[in-house]
Amino acid sequence: MTSPFLLSTWSFSEPILESEYPNLSAGCSALDAVEACVRNAEQDESIDSVGFGGLPDRNGNCTFDAMVMTSPSSSGAVCGIERHLHPVSIARLVMEKTNHTLLAGTLADDFADSHAMESANILAHTSEQKWESWKKRSRDTKPLAPFDHGHGQLFGSHDTIGTIALDSHGTLAGACSTSGMAWKVPGRVGDSPIVGHGLYVDPKRGAATGTGHGELISGVNGAFLVVDLMGRGATPLEAIHETLDRIVSCWDIKKEYQVAFIATTPEGKFAGGALRAGFKYAMCNSDGCIVKDPELVMLD
């Protein structure tokens, strides 16, 4: 029997993993575990990059994107969710109840309604206050690099929770969710809900999820590239290094840009890496739950 474990981006996810791990170790499926972890983050107002605590676009409206995946032939995603607090669960409905992989905008909300998902106000009062404060300032739209100080708030700008689980049956699953870039142009969609960009799972090769500036990740199909490289023999750390190197070679890397990945093989060998300092990830297994610095930081 496989020893189950959970991986997730950012230190705010550590208590979430700790609360869910007993279910995973008791036989819960990897898919159920990652959905539960991400739902927990989506409803936590103290997390300013996901769900109810997320920051709105420049018009003051919150929109959510999310994805779940268990294999190249089994994924679901939504983007532009405006009326439901748990886009990760809508994404799972897309995967399990339709022949599609992505639903967008108002019609994705309607789809959730048709499956009796409760609608909700998704803009927290604290997030609205931050938007009002931003309006009174210069309306600077330059992105800020997320920096993990260990208390849940990464920005002023944006980021993603990405969670990967390996269950006792040896099955991998991944999920990610985000409120996107703070003060973004309305309609902007990043990497999170796109297969192979923010998340990729292949039972034969491994799983990876990315976080940070989504446009950079999308430019190289980041999560897919990490998993593909592992399938060709690279270790998780080597695969992350090569993917970050590809990003650096393709983009003019400004000081405010940050990208990070976590990845695992099907056997449970894992690693994390980032362009810059300021990224942390959480891991939980039978020995306990810890917050880890990435094994690789590319740039000073």
> Considering 101, 160, 243, 265, which one is annotated as catalytic?
160
Which residue matches tokens 């979430």?
16
Distances (CA, A) of 85 to 52, 54, 171: 7, 11, 27
Helices 14-25 and 30-42: crossing angle in degrees, nearest 10, is: 150
**Catalytic residue list contains 160:** yes
Instruction: Tell me the catalytic residues.
Output: 160
